C-alpha cells in the first residue's frame, strides 16, 4: 500500500511521519515515534488505555486513523511532565495509590488532565464520569478518584498562589 506523510505535533514537537493510511494514530505514536507510554488494551475504543489529547480533548488513539492526525496537536503521557517536573495529577496518582499494575495509568492520567483543564472543582461524580471510558482492573477506581480530587485541590491552591 502506498505510504503517505502525516504532519503532526506530538508533545510540542513537529513530526513528519511516513505511514500507510490504514494505520492508527496509536501505531504512529508507538511504532514510528517509540512513544510506548500510550497502551493498546482493546483496539476498539472500549478500554481507554490509548487515550491521548488531540487539540486538548481526550480521544482513543486506536480509533483515529493516522491521516486524521494531520495538522493536529497531540499530547501523550510522555508529554505531561514539564522540565522533569511531574504534573500534579501524576504526583497525586503516585502518592494516593492511584495505580497498581499501571497499564491503564497513561490513559487515566490523560482523561484526568483533560477534566481538570475544563473543571477545576470536579465533584466525585464528574470525576467518575470523566474516567468512565478508562477501564482499570486493579484498583477498583477508588484511589484513582481520590488522587484526582487531591490533584484538583492542589492545582487550585497552586493557581491561587500564582495569582498573588
- Out of 20, 55, 70, 121, the only residue in the binding site for another protein (CB under 8 A) is 20
Residues near 151 by Cβ (< 8 Å), separated by ≥ 6?
88, 89, 91, 92, 93, 112, 116
- Distance (Å, rounded) from C-alpha 36 to C-alpha 127? 26
**41: contact with another protein by CB under 8 A:** yes
**55: contact with another protein by CB under 8 A:** no
Residues near 77 by Cβ (< 8 Å), separated by ≥ 6?
37, 38, 105, 106, 107, 109, 110
**131: contact with another protein by CB under 8 A:** yes
- Out of 9, 63, 67, 138, the only residue in the binding site for another protein (CB under 8 A) is 138
**95: contact with another protein by CB under 8 A:** yes
Only one of the segments 2-10, 75-83, 114-122, 156-164 lies at the binding site for another protein (rule: CB under 8 A); that segment is: 75-83
- Distance (Å, rounded) from C-alpha 145 to C-alpha 135? 13
Could you list the beta-strand ranges (E) of 1-159. Answer: 4-10, 13-19, 51-54, 57-60, 73-75
- Out of 74, 136, 150, 151, the only residue in the binding site for another protein (CB under 8 A) is 136
Catalog residues that contact another protein under the rule CB under 8 A. 1, 20, 22, 30, 34-44, 46-47, 49, 76-78, 80-81, 86, 90, 93-97, 99-106, 109, 127-129, 131-145
Amino acid at each position: 500500500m502506498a505510504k503517505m506523510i502525516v504532519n503532526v505535533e506530538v508533545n510540542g514537537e513537529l513530526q513528519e511521519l511516513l505511514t500507510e493510511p490504514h494505520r492508527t494514530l496509536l501505531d504512529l505514536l508507538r511504532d514510528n515515534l517509540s512513544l510506548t507510554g500510550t497502551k493498546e488494551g482493546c483496539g476498539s475504543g472500549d478500554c481507554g488505555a490509548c487515550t491521548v489529547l488531540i487539540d486538548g480533548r481526550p480521544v482513543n488513539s486506536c480509533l483515529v486513523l493516522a491521516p486524521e492526525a494531520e495538522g493536529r496537536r497531540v499530547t501523550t503521557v510522555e508529554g505531561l511532565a514539564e522540565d522533569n517536573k511531574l504534573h500534579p495529577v501524576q504526583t497525586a496518582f503516585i502518592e494516593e495509590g492511584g495505580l497498581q499494575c499501571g497499564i491503564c495509568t497513561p490513559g487515566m492520567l490523560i482523561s484526568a488532565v483533560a477534566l481538570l483543564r475544563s473543571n477545576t472543582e470536579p465533584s466525585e461524580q464528574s470525576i467518575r464520569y470523566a474516567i468512565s471510558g478508562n477501564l482499570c482492573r486493579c484498583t477498583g477506581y477508588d484511589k484513582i478518584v481520590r488522587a484526582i480530587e487531591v490533584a484538583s485541590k492542589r492545582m487550585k491552591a497552586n493557581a491561587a498562589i500564582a495569582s498573588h
